[in-house]
Amino acid sequence: MLARNSDPIVAIATAPGRGAVGIVRVSGPDVKSLVTALCGRALRPREATYLPLRDAQGQAIDQGLALHFPAPHSYTGEDVLELQAHGGTVVLQLLLARCLQAASEIDPTTGRARLPGLRVAQPGEFTQRAFLNDKIDLAQAEAIADLIDASTEAAARSAGRSLSGAFSQEIAQLREALIHLRMLVEATLDFPEEEIDFLQKADAQGQLDRLQAQLGRVQQRTRQGALLREGVKVVIAGQPNAGKSSLLNALAGAELAIVTPIAGTTRDKVEQTIQIEGVPIHVIDTAGLRDSQDEVERIGIERAWSEIAGADAVLFLHDLTRAAQPDYQAADQAIEATLNQTLAARVPVLQVWNKLDQVSPDHAAAYQGVHLSARTGQGLDAVRQQLLQLAGWQSAPEGLYIARERHVQALQQVAGHLDMAARCLAAQAQSLDLLAEELRLAQQALNEITGEFSSDDLLGVIFSKFCIGK
């Protein structure tokens, strides 16, 4: 686990820097004594009180709001104190230091330290407490971080739905159906002489078919949700002067890359994230691909191939004005051959023909792919739609929730186990033990999504990605 879960914790819960308001948050088994030390009085539960926040000498550090959330009705499920002051760095550090100091002071009414063991929280520890105290499940905890990190409006809305439990409810429905089928199979193992008739009467095959169909629908929505969070890495590749930098600028709507008629102008990658229908597309412009004796350009070309090797999709840009030239065609064929050797079979390559405004329609029609003019913008919408198709994006269904790659992989494991379970069920009595085991493994993979079952290492990785105050 990240840390000792019984320790009271404190942290600045707002982003570093200056701001109108900053928050210091404390969570622990009982913070009433600390409230008295900092605020000079008790607080009404869940009611904001405006008052001076005091240092050890009773002097006001700042005037602000204090809120006390008694357990279990709080974010973490423990007693929580939130101090809302002006968002200056020094003010918040003073409040944080005062919390730590007051925690070790002796409360005159009890003769004990006010909040012994109070320490600064580690990243994600407040949310981890919420998970451990059953305030949220693991998928909802991840949705909190995704909501904070959302780069598009669609991603933010989808993360909000996951936080509200939409994704978790779908997983719970799958789990309920899976458990019902498991119970049926396990029961038949106690009555071997009747097991086949029993399974047939209970429509075990129909239950498994419906479960697989339901899983397929959840997988499709989860893949879409993962796209909203992760986005797609698209590399623009091609020969020098094909218009790669112009295309990046056109997609981004800004002059990000230098554009000149001189071959080899782009020496290093230029990256920009755009959004198309709410999906983040990470577009990378690279150096023109050719044989070069220039050392700097050669390094840029090596980096271009490195980016291409890690791409989710490649946009292979061609120059229509040079397309009929034999030397240009040969160079394009060489690049195509290297792309086929470099890219995994699953990585799509989109053929795009640029400079449509400089050639006749008949000339452009001879070349298959997407035709555009990066200079005028003609055909740019077609490129955007093709990028979405390459990413596997479909029109966002109503109520789409955010998801992560680990969720996609877990559901793939579930699908694999259910496929094996179907084979075992088809084999009837000879494989019922294996059928029961495959269903158990499928449920275990489902449980890892919401944290019904999860290793300490997995929790540590997930919550360490949070900010300190979460």
143 marked ligand binding residue: no
Instruction: Report which of 24, 25, 53 is spatially closest to residue 37, judged by C-alpha positions.
Output: 53
470 marked ligand binding residue: yes
269 marked ligand binding residue: no
360 marked ligand binding residue: no
243 marked ligand binding residue: yes
- Look up tokens 């193992």; give the residue: 189
Structure tokens at 410: 């877990």
Structure tokens at 153: 């409006």
User: 442 in helix, strand or coil?
Assistant: helix
User: Is the bond into 72 cis (omega within 30 degrees of 0)?
Assistant: yes
Structure tokens at 62: 């700042």
82 marked ligand binding residue: yes
Parallel, antiparallel or unpaired: strands 49-54 and 79-85: unpaired
374 marked ligand binding residue: yes
Question: In Å, what is the CA distance from 35 to each residue of 30, 71, 80?
Answer: 10, 14, 10
DSSP annotation string for 335-347: HHHHHHHHS-TTS
Which residues, including other chains, have CB under 8 Å from residue 167's CB and lie 6 or more apart?
A: 139, 143, 161, 222, 225, 401, 402, 403, 407
Do residues 81 and 31 lie in contact, with contact meaning Cβ atoms separated by under 8 Å?
yes
Q: What is the DSSP letter of 281?
A: E
288 marked ligand binding residue: yes
- Look up tokens 């209970």; give the residue: 202
What is the torsion angle, in degrees rounded to the nearest 10, for the CA atoms of residue 23, residue 24, residue 28 and residue 34? -120
* d(C-alpha 24, C-alpha 39), whole Å: 13
* d(C-alpha 4, C-alpha 125), whole Å: 10
25 marked ligand binding residue: yes
264 marked ligand binding residue: yes
User: 238 in helix, strand or coil?
Assistant: strand
Contacts of the segment 103-108: beta carbons below 8 A, 24+ positions apart: 103/8, 103/10, 103/34, 105/37, 105/56, 107/33, 107/36, 107/37
188 marked ligand binding residue: no
Element at 161 (helix H, strand E): helix 153-164
Parallel, antiparallel or unpaired: strands 60-69 and 79-85: antiparallel
- Look up tokens 């390559």; give the residue: 349
Structure tokens at 456: 């300490």
266 marked ligand binding residue: yes
330 marked ligand binding residue: no
242 marked ligand binding residue: yes
Instruction: Report which of 173, 175, 198, 220 is spatially closest to residue 400, judged by C-alpha positions.
Output: 220
Which residues, including other chains, have CB under 8 Å from residue 358's CB and lie 6 or more apart?
A: 320, 321, 373
Q: Which residues are annotated as a binding site for GTP?
A: 241-246, 260-266, 285-288, 373-375
Q: Which residues are annotated as a binding site for K(+)?
A: 241, 260, 262, 265
Q: Which residues are annotated as a binding site for (6S)-5-formyl-5,6,7,8-tetrahydrofolate?
A: 25, 82, 135, 470
Q: Which residues are annotated as a binding site?
A: 25, 82, 135, 241-246, 260-266, 285-288, 373-375, 470
Q: Which residues are annotated as a binding site for Mg(2+)?
A: 245, 266
